[in-house]
Amino acid sequence: MIWLTWRQLRASAAMLAAVLVILAIVLALTGPDLASRYSAGITACTQDNTCNRFYDRFFGGHEFSFMAVSLVVLLLPALVGLFWGAPLITRELEAGTHLLVWNQSITRARWLAIKLGLTGLTAVAAAGLCGLMVTWWSDPLDKSASESLALMAPLVFGARGIAPMGYAAFAFVLGITVGMLVRRTLPAMALTLAVFAAIQLAMPLLVRPHLMPPVTSTFELGQTNVDGMGMNRDQGGAVEIHLRSAVPGHAGAWVLSGSLVDRSGRTLGSGGGGEVAVPVSTTSGPCAPSGSPFMDACMAEINRLGYRQKATYHPLERFWPFQWIETGIYALLTLGLTWLSFWWIRRRLS
């Protein structure tokens, strides 16, 4: 049975292996160079305190490859589910070959176990290898990425670490289960894709923020968490502050929500893209536009008046705990669907 499973998997496994080998070669050739340039740049920038500018330049120079490799890791589980999971059973049902193989001296459950196990392990190994390679390669870029593309950002988190293994295992078994229920390859593939995409969207939006209780804290305003300030003459000349989704002292934190609060803790407005008007005099004092170092002095004045950024976030240190928890969740889902598929092949599928 192992031979038959391998014989049926051979061609597509070879294709996947070829893609992975090419990816590995490219990453292995460019990775050390990337790391050395990063460390050289950091050494240079810490001397003259221009690291923010270095990060932008460094990341901007490799943004395309960063996006490309992340996309590969994100897509691989979906492709596994579509092209290995969904057709695994439906292809046999459509060709009628299940009647051939189920009448050899092997029980259906054993047939499924070997097919699912061997193909599934190959898929998980491929996704894991791919994810860890990319994690290693993009480490310098992850360190210099802006907050929206940092390690904990929803888009990047799923393309790093061990989570891709969980995704691949889940997508694969999801494909098998949907295939058994739908019994036709193309609809099964479409449905698998739809369900998997929905779950992959729901996970970072609805589930992942609650994997651990997020930290809520207030921070002084500064360059890290203020994107820009301006003056709005229409509203009586208030200073407007545009908050960033970052918190000082916790580089790479995943900020779920941020707002500006005043001395008594009253919320002035959220930092979610909008500008927050701060009632500070702009006709006199540090925030008057005549003052030459407008930005720094005005910021200091606003801080002195007690205005703070209040943010709810997950610090970067939670990256690996989150990876383990999320992989565990997907592993449990995978086990559940595996159980369902075994139950179904014994009871219902015939």
Partner 1 sequence: MTSVLQAQGLGKKYGKRWALRECTIDIPAGHVVGLVGPNGAGKTTLLKLASGQLEPTAGGITVLGGRPAGGPAQLAKVGFVAQDTPVYAGLAVAEHLRLGERLNPRWDAAFARERIARLGLVPTQRAGKLSGGQRAQLALTLGLAKRPELLILDEPVASLDPLARREFLQSLMEATVEHELSVVLSSHLVSDLERVCDFLIVLVDSRVQVAGETDKLLATHHRLIGPRRDPDRLPADQHVVSARHTDRQSTYVIRTDAPIHDPAWTVTQLSLEDLVLAYMDKHTAENRRVALEVQR
Contact footprint for partner 1 (CB under 8 A): 1, 3-4, 7-8, 95-97, 99-108, 110, 347, 350
Nearest-approach distance from CB 345 to partner 1, in angstroms: 12
Nearest to 167 by CA among 98, 248, 76: 76
Instruction: Using the minimum distance from each CB to partner 1, give the nearer residue, 17 or 95.
Output: 95
Nearest-approach distance from CB 11 to partner 1, in angstroms: 8
Nearest-approach distance from CB 86 to partner 1, in angstroms: 18
Q: Report the distance separating Cα 96 and Cα 100, nearest Å.
A: 7
Nearest-approach distance from CB 92 to partner 1, in angstroms: 9
Instruction: Using the minimum distance from each CB to partner 1, give the nearer residue, 224 or 341.
Output: 341
Could you tell me if 176 and 88 are in contact, meaning their C-beta atoms sit under 8 angstroms apart?
Answer: yes
Q: Report the distance separating Cα 134 and Cα 73, nearest Å.
A: 8
Distance set, CA 46 to CA 53, 55, 113, 144, 319 (Å): 11, 12, 56, 14, 26
Could you tell me if 231 and 241 are in contact, meaning their C-beta atoms sit under 8 angstroms apart?
Answer: no
Instruction: Using the minimum distance from each CB to partner 1, give the nearer residue, 7 or 263.
Output: 7
Q: Indicate the residue type of 319.
A: F
Instruction: Using the minimum distance from each CB to partner 1, give the nearer residue, 94 or 227.
Output: 94
Instruction: Using the minimum distance from each CB to partner 1, give the nearer residue, 2 or 305.
Output: 2
Nearest-approach distance from CB 95 to partner 1, in angstroms: 6
Sign of the alpha-carbon torsion through 326, 330, 331, 336: positive
Nearest-approach distance from CB 15 to partner 1, in angstroms: 15
DSSP of 92-137: HHHHTHHHHHTTSSS-HHHHHHHHHHHHHHHHHHHHHHHHHHHHHH
Instruction: Using the minimum distance from each CB to partner 1, give the nearer residue, 16 or 276.
Output: 16
Could you tell me if 54 and 62 are in contact, meaning their C-beta atoms sit under 8 angstroms apart?
Answer: no
- Bridge partners of 239, per DSSP, are 231, 278
Instruction: Using the minimum distance from each CB to partner 1, give the nearer residue, 8 or 323.
Output: 8
